[in-house]
Structure 1
């Protein structure tokens, strides 16, 4: 497992958190218990199986909701 830390544009409302959280948690090969959206820092953290899913898939799901990804870090979980 790898841990993705995705920096987003500034989040402006609590409903943004719910949309992103729901979308990331339902992605296949993402640990739903590890997925967190941090409102104050505008970050998404999630553990995922890097052998079967690429971090770009997580970024795409977030961008498809209308939120800009600024940068992403991936490290061992």
Structure 2
């Protein structure tokens, strides 16, 4: 498993309200399940960007 996958998943999972974070390396995607009453997509996006990765969009 590439170190970037471990870094992103591990960091995002530490965010309060995140239930699950899974990186799909070959597809360049991150799937996150979270409690919207505790965290939002912008918080997750900022966390990933602080790690030095670009977020291209959200669904």
TM-score, structure 2 normalization? 0.92
> Rg larger in 1 or in 2?
1
Give 1 or 2: higher helix fraction.
2
Which 5+ residue runs of structure 1 have no aligned equivalent? 1-12
Which 5+ residue runs of structure 2 have no aligned equivalent? none
TM-score, structure 1 normalization? 0.72
Give 1 or 2: higher strand fraction.
1
Q: What RMSD, in angstroms, separates the aligned Cα atoms of the two structures? A: 1.3
- Higher RCO structure (Cα 8 Å, ≥6 apart): 1
- Alpha-carbon distance in 2 for matches of 1:55, 1:64: 14
